[in-house]
Structure formats: structure tokens, C-alpha cells
Chains A and B, each alone.
Chain A
Amino acid sequence: MDYIRLGYEDVAVAAVLVALNAMLSLRLRLGLGLENRLVIAAVRMVVQLSLVGLVLKALFAAVSPWLTLGAAVLMVLFAGREVLARQSRRFTGWWTYGLGTSSIMVAAILVTVLALTTQIRPDPWYHPRYAIPLLGMILGNTMTGVALGLDRLLTGAVREKAAIEAQLCLGREFSAALKPLVRQALRSGLIPIVNAMSAAGLVSLPGMMTGQILSGVDPMEAVKYQILIMFLIAGGTGLGLLAAVLAGARRLTDPRHRLRLDRLAASAAEQP
């Protein structure tokens, strides 16, 4: 494989573009501290990516199942935190963090291991050069889907309390009363991956495929890889989303078919 190596000076030239943006923002007095935020974000990105590069390099050198597993667990925990940050309503107690995290963990790890052991089959199967990027892609998308679905479910349950309880009062079962909301939550969680698959190739060239092409892989080979990844992402998102939304819906009720909004923490707006 032939690819063009970048020197640090090449990267520095590209950084001039960011500096130019910042200077324009200052000059035109667009204000709002935008130039600061731009520079801080750029610096953060450089530091974070460099660190990740170093970590990946060490992991690839070690090819240890335990180190790889440790990295995977860390990634899952960060993804769980991100799911939580994107929810405006949350469960109380263990469920606050546990619901989103455990659903994305089960789904992403299941799909990643399946792909590694049956389709990509590196040697050994847990080789971090394959396992970590694969898990990252699946995890990132599953996380987005789960966050969207849970947010829709929980804000919807609060907003539609009167309509849900009206159905309960008329003798409907809780699952029937909540069904429209569960459907909406599943739909909104699946929208990003559905959109990504529909637009792939026409509007955007997916990142991984582009990367492989830049590093000299034959386009048809890169396309095959991308299709595999899209299917894995769709599978992971669907599984994680279904688990999170169904478990969330169960947590919203009890054996007496009540709507248990008391199991949600007060929203930021309601807190004193």
C-alpha cells in the first residue's frame, strides 16, 4: 500500500487556516468570544488525538487481550457519560447512568465481537488494530441512537402525562398507553443511521472509506469494508436502542400499571 506521509510542517500549514478564521473573527468584531472557542477547540483536538495516537501505538505493540479490554471498557464508560449528558430527563439512582451505559455496552460489544470472529477475522481475533477502531465506530453511532431514543421516551412521558394517565384511567394497560411513545422513541433513535445509509455515496463519502482510499486501498475494497461497517452500525444501534427504550419503558411503570414519573429526577429547570 502506498500513501503520502505527512510531516509536522504540513500539519502546521493547515493550522494557519484556523488561525486565519480566528483573526477574521477578531477583525470583523463578530464578538461573542468565538475566536477563543475556536482556538481552544483546535488545541483540545490536537492534544486529544495525539494522546490517542500514542495510546493506540502502545496497544498495537502489546497486542494484549487485557489491555485491549481495558481500553474498550473505558470507551464504553465515556460513551455512557455522553448518553447521559444528552438527556434532558433522567432516571434516579443506579438507572441514571446504568440504563444507557449497559444497553450500549451489550449491543456494541456483541456486534464488535461478532464482526471480529466471523467476518474480519484478524489473528488473534482481539487484535487492537481491528478491535479498537471497529468498537469506536459502532459505539459512537449506538451512543447517538440510544441518547436520542431515551431522550424522546423520557421527555415524551413527562409531556404527555395527562394523555397517558387518561388512558390508564379508562382501563388500558400501561404498555398500550405508552406504545405510541415507544414507537416515536425507536424511530428517532434510528433516524441518524437510516439517513447515513441513504445519503452514503451520494451526498457524503463515509469517513472510513475515504481514509482507506487515501491510504491506497482499492476503492471497491474500501466500499466493501464500508458496507460491512454500515451494517454493523445499524445492527448495534438497533439492538442498543431497543434494549434501552424497552427497559426504560418498563422502569416507567410498575405491576399496578402506574406512570411512575417519580422515578425521574427533577429537570434542571425545576431544580431550585
Chain B
Amino acid sequence: MNQPDRFGQQEHANEGFRPLLNVKNLTRPGIAPVDLAIGAGECLILGGPSGAGKTLLLRAIADLDPNDGDVFLEGVSRDQIPAPRWRRMAAYVPSESGWWAERVGDHFTNPETAAPLLDRLGLDSGALTTGALDWPVSRLSTGERQRLALARALAMEPKVLLLDEPTSGLDPDSTRRVEAVIAGRLTQGAAALFVTHDAEQAMRLQGGRLQSRRLTMNAGVVSEAEA
């Protein structure tokens, strides 16, 4: 303990822990230098008040804003990976999704593989009626947008999920479905950095079979969450 800026590393140091995502000294305006490591199959839950810099941290890891520091994926430095490829491996799903075409399906790189994913997220995959991929974006509800944005990111098979309140606009049933889908990805060897305001959700994620830890962010500084 007692080295509050190196989460992960010292906890796992004795087990020969090789993190999937390793963030070292990452900084940008609005956040103090952050060190964290997430192993394969692990879920790092990040809480803290609005405006603490959680979204800025996720954006910095996804390299969407200018930032300083080092980020490694499976030991390979982010600097050696072209940015578009990096973002396919470390998928950032913002809380407000963006859409650029009229039809939902046009936002998927490989729509044909998305069907089982849509099923599990509680969206119509098109087995019986017109599926979600044929819906016009303008008619989507907030919850549908949120789940579809998650689905199109997961369809890229990313190794790291950077999730910014992925269930904020969802009803309890859809929330459970999203949590289950994410848990499924983790058991397949992905890692997640999961931002949530919902204390119950954090407990649930931690209480499940998932290997998870909780951190909290305050005024740009990441620290170990209490209890």
C-alpha cells in the first residue's frame, strides 16, 4: 500500500503480474499524473464527482486529446502504434454517443457479426422483424443509442474497454444485460476501465465473480477508493 500513485503494480508485483494496459505518468491539463495497470480479465472501477476528470482520463488514454506520459498495451508502447489502430484496440465509449450516418448499420465496421451482440444487449437483431441495424438513427431512444454505441465498439473486438458511464441512461434490465456482456468480454481476456457514479453498480461489479478494484478521482487526482 502507501504508494497511492502506482495502483496495480505493487499489488500484483509478487505474482509476476503482467498488465494488459499499463498507464505511466499520464497527464494532460485537468488531471494530475496518473499511474495505473489493469490485467487481462480485470475491471477497474473509477468513481468520483462530476468534473473530477474521469472523462478527460479516458480521452487521454484513447489519445483523443494531447497528453503526456506513456501507455502500454501488452508491453507495446502506444507511440509505436498508429492512432487509428490504437483506438481499435483500446475502445473508448463516451457517455454521449456520436452518429454520422442515417442508418444504424452504417456505423458498424462489420455489421454481419454484430447480431449475437445485439441479442445479448436486448436489441432486436432482426431475426423476426426489421433489426436494429436497419433503424434510422433519428428514431433511437437514449437507451438504444447507448447500447448500440457500446455494441459497435465491442464489434471491433477491442482488448481494452474504456467505458464512460455505459449504463447511465438504461433501465435496470438493460443495465444488467450490459454488465453481463462486459463481464463476458472480461472472461475472454479483455480489460475494462469502467467509470460509474452508481455506488450499487460498483458494488455489484465488485461483488460478482469479476476480478475488480475500485479507484476514485477527485479534482484530477486518482486515489484508492474507501471500502
The complex places the Cα of A256 from the Cα of B87 at a distance, in Å, of 10
B: interface residue count bin? 20 to 34
The complex places the Cα of A167 from the Cα of B153 at a distance, in Å, of 10
Q: B6 near A: Cβ within 8 Å?
A: no
Partner of B109, one of A165, A170, A254: A170
CB-CB < 8 A to B83: which residues of A? 168, 255-258
Check A171 against B64 for contact (C-beta < 8 Å): no
Task: Indicate whether A169 sits within 8 Å of B153 (C-beta atoms), given known contacts A256-B83, A257-B84, A258-B66.
Answer: yes
The complex places the Cα of A247 from the Cα of B141 at a distance, in Å, of 38
The complex places the Cα of A117 from the Cα of B153 at a distance, in Å, of 58
Task: Indicate whether A163 sits within 8 Å of B99 (C-beta atoms), given known contacts A170-B156, A258-B63.
Answer: yes
Residue of B nearest to A167 (CB): B100
CB-CB < 8 A to A256: which residues of B? 63, 83
Partner of A166, one of B65, B66, B85, B98: B98
Task: Indicate whether A169 sits within 8 Å of B100 (C-beta atoms), given known contacts A258-B64, A258-B83.
Answer: no
CB-CB < 8 A to A166: which residues of B? 94, 97-100, 107, 149
Of B62, B82, B87, B92, most buried by chain A (CB within 10 Å of CB) is B87
Q: A180 near B: Cβ within 8 Å?
A: yes
CB-CB < 8 A to B57: which residues of A? none
Partner of B94, one of A160, A165, A262: A165
Check A173 against B94 for contact (C-beta < 8 Å): no
Q: B24 near A: Cβ within 8 Å?
A: no
Residue of A nearest to B59 (CB): A165
Q: B54 near A: Cβ within 8 Å?
A: no
The complex places the Cα of A55 from the Cα of B115 at a distance, in Å, of 73
Residue of B nearest to A166 (CB): B98
How does the 8 Å CB contact mask read for A153-182 relative to B, with 1 for contact and 0 for none?
A: 000000011111111111111000100100
Residue of B nearest to A255 (CB): B83
A-B contact count (CB 8 A): 71
Check A164 against B98 for contact (C-beta < 8 Å): yes
Partner of B100, one of A163, A257, A259, A262: A163
Check A169 against B66 for contact (C-beta < 8 Å): no
Q: Considering only CB atoms and an 8 Å cut-off, how many residues of chain A contact the other chain? A: 24
CB-CB < 8 A to B66: which residues of A? 254, 258, 260, 262
Partner of A258, one of B65, B91, B93, B94: B65
CB-CB < 8 A to A160: which residues of B? 98, 100
Check B97 against A171 for contact (C-beta < 8 Å): no
CB-CB < 8 A to A260: which residues of B? 66
Check A171 against B156 for contact (C-beta < 8 Å): yes
Q: How far is the CB of B17 from chain A (nearest CB, A)?
A: 28
Q: B152 near A: Cβ within 8 Å?
A: yes
Residue of B nearest to A162 (CB): B98
Task: Indicate whether A169 sits within 8 Å of B99 (C-beta atoms), given known contacts A258-B63, A258-B83.
Answer: no
Q: How far is the CB of A212 from chain B (nearest CB, A)?
A: 49
Q: How far is the CB of B45 from chain A (nearest CB, A)?
A: 21
Residue of B nearest to A259 (CB): B64
Task: Indicate whether A170 sits within 8 Å of B152 (C-beta atoms), given known contacts A165-B64, A258-B83.
Answer: yes
Task: Indicate whether A169 sits within 8 Å of B65 (C-beta atoms), given known contacts A162-B98, A256-B83, A258-B83.
Answer: no
Q: B74 near A: Cβ within 8 Å?
A: no
How does the 8 Å CB contact mask read for B48-90 relative to A, with 1 for contact and 0 for none?
A: 0000000000000011111000000000000000111101100
Q: Could you write out 6 A-B pairs with CB less than 8 Å apart?
A: A164-B98, A166-B107, A170-B156, A171-B87, A171-B156, A258-B63
Known: A163-B98, A171-B87. 12 other contacts (CB 8 A): A160-B98, A160-B100, A162-B98, A165-B94, A167-B98, A168-B64, A171-B88, A173-B84, A177-B100, A180-B100, A257-B84, A258-B65
Taking Cβ atoms with an 8 Å cutoff, the residues of B that contact A are 62-66, 82-85, 87-88, 91-94, 96-100, 107, 109, 149, 152-153, 156
Taking Cβ atoms with an 8 Å cutoff, the residues of A that contact B are 160-173, 177, 180, 254-260, 262
